[in-house]
């Protein structure tokens, strides 16, 4: 984790999105155990939030919008689980 935090903001955003993708894949694989799937989806939402923060930091530093291949705004729906980021991220902080 230290290596990610020391990377350039645009690279951090890219890595956070990779981690979010991995967490969504694990959630899909774990959907037979709702609690585990929920935890992975919560992690995915949090990684996306970190990516957005890193994008904002990169934009502040460069003065232009980063081109990171962002999945921002993408809605991820896992059957039976909310897709609202605010709900998931607020619940994630309680885990």
What are the two backbone dihedrals, phi and then psi, of residue 81, each rounded to the nearest 5 degrees?
Answer: -125, 140
Per the domain annotation, does 2 fall within a domain? no
Per the domain annotation, does 74 fall within a domain? no
pLDDT band at 86 (very low <50, low <70, confident <90, very high): very low
pTM above 0.85, yes or no: no
Mean confidence (pLDDT) of the chain: 76
Per the domain annotation, does 47 fall within a domain? yes
Per-residue confidence (pLDDT) for residue 72, from 0 to 100: 47
Per the domain annotation, does 40 fall within a domain? yes
Per the domain annotation, does 45 fall within a domain? yes
Per the domain annotation, does 4 fall within a domain? no
Strand, helix or coil for residue 50: helix
Per the domain annotation, does 1 fall within a domain? no
39-76 pLDDT per residue, tens = 999 999 999 999 999 999 988 887 655 454 544 444 45
Task: Give the count of domains, the chain.
Answer: 1
Strand, helix or coil for residue 81: strand
Which structural domain, as residue segments, surrounds residue 21? 9-64+80-92
Per the domain annotation, does 13 fall within a domain? yes
């Amino acid at each position: 984790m230290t290596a990610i935090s020391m990377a350039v903001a645009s690279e951090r955003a890219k890595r956070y999105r990779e981690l979010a993708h991995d967490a969504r894949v694990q959630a899909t694989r774990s959907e037979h155990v709702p609690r585990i799937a929920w935890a992975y989806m919560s992690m995915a939402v949090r990684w996306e939030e970190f990516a957005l923060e890193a994008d904002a930091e990169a934009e502040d530093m460069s003065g232009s919008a980063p081109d990171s291949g962002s999945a921002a705004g993408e809605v991820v729906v896992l059957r039976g689980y909310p897709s609202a980021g605010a709900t998931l991220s607020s619940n994630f902080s309680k885990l």
